[in-house]
Chain A
């Protein structure tokens, strides 16, 4: 780490940005989305009597405990660190990010977050097709936690980055899908927050734009005091951005350390699973 100590707050590289202790997240299988009062009453009654839930579609595998998407996660991320999170599909990466971005609450354990969190999960969430590009920049930016003043201040820079200048006052429904993505990424790239969550964000636009996005990501990630959690299946970018990396498998952190070792383990995991 090359961060300098910030004199005002006394922050140094060991100041934590995120501390997760014994965090688990359980989803109850089978019943999810069942959603009628009668069925729920039945399940509740069965549980009271200690019987198996008659409405649970998956009983044998998960049992009555449900399914743990995350189990006993202990993780500390220092301020300014860029942490890579890798693992196969269903390993728990997205659940981890959802907990950190407060979209859903943990089942057990506590999470402490020092700083404002913004997630770059699926760019363009909250776009309204009837509204113009400019209106959507305001809407999307506000949803992501920017104030109107901050958006106004960055408007020119956002528009320039998006490459859709000519169409900025046209309703977004007339945009091509590539244009939408570019505009959305431009907003996300201008977020000013201490902790940034990036989940597979580089699957955007054409090759040239992708390159530009990555450069912007790298610039963002290298800012001192900016903590970044980077999730990707693209090992080349993980290697380039992250100094530290965790590998997740079946809801647990199975490795935490140098990126090169993590990537090697991930590739081994992949090949052993494939058999």
Chain B
């Protein structure tokens, strides 16, 4: 029996062909391999940059937020606190910004050959996940060091939740990224906003400061409503044993994540059929 494809002008919202995606799993793997290897070709330090980047930014946060702004870290050694936060945030922001340009940066390729378009966002996430694992290494090193000294106490029960935290960060970033990329297929305005927006978003998330440092009020409410805060707090609770993620905020952020992801996927699917005519 040969494959039968039926093409109509109908624009469905939910019409996923997961089998097709599975058939192209080799392509997902190759896209991932490509972005992992190509980025560091023609650099002297190569993949070492992966480790250096969070170290440098953590150092900056240590100076700016720790020394100058005087924000606490709930008793966790500063470097460890910032390293953990940046690794998780970098994972989120790489997924988000990488996926926010799916259509515009692949217009040439998408315009010539059809293949399941979702292979690109999925490989972006896998790439970011590999980098996340590498970026966590220095944090884990410090964790073992400080753990042995008794300066931090990981919360082992929460450690079981880490896979869920990673899945949530990826889903949320994918959803947001797909919404932005679908919109930028036509409206380029958003392209300008993404880098600035990501930066602002980070400050509205408990990344470089613990939630407990934010006094009650409008700002705390914004930080709490921000769906990235809950997984962030969970992550720190697990590894560093600090922070008190409240169940209702965790559930709220999961609900929002599922909503955003569903909307992003639906929008992406709608745009992919005709985006070539507008790009």
Contacts and interface: CB of A to CB of B under 8 A. Distances in A.
A147 B46 CA distance: 30
A109 B115 CA distance: 22
A101 B7 CA distance: 10
A145 interface: yes
Contacts of B42: 130
A36 to B, nearest CB: 6
Contacts of B31: 139
A101 B188 contact: no
A52 B114 CA distance: 35
A121 to B, nearest CB: 5
Given A35-B188, A110-B6, A112-B6, A105 B274 contact: yes
B276 interface: yes
Interface stretch (B103-111, B127-135, B249-257): B103-111
Nearest to A107: B9
A62 interface: no
B276 to A, nearest CB: 5
A244 B189 CA distance: 48
B187 A131 contact: no
Contacts of B9: 105-109
Contacts of A107: 9
A104 B273 contact: yes
B189 A113 contact: no
B19 interface: no
A130 B41 CA distance: 7
Interface stretch (B22-30, B92-100, B172-180): B22-30
A110 B8 contact: yes
A185 interface: no
B147 to A, nearest CB: 41
B186 A114 contact: no
A257 interface: no
Contacts of B113: 101, 103, 119, 121, 125-126, 143-144
A125 B186 contact: no
Interface in A86-126: 98-99, 101-117, 119, 121-122, 125-126
Given A36-B188, A119-B112, A102 B7 contact: yes
A126 to B, nearest CB: 5
A256 interface: no
A117 B23 CA distance: 14
B189 A36 contact: yes
Nearest to A121: B112
Nearest to A122: B112
Interface in B30-49: 30-31, 34, 37-38, 41-42
Contacts of B24: 142, 145
A131 B31 CA distance: 12
A147 B24 CA distance: 7
14 contacts: A33-B279, A36-B187, A36-B189, A37-B189, A40-B186, A99-B7, A103-B112, A103-B114, A113-B5, A116-B3, A125-B109, A135-B34, A139-B31, A145-B24
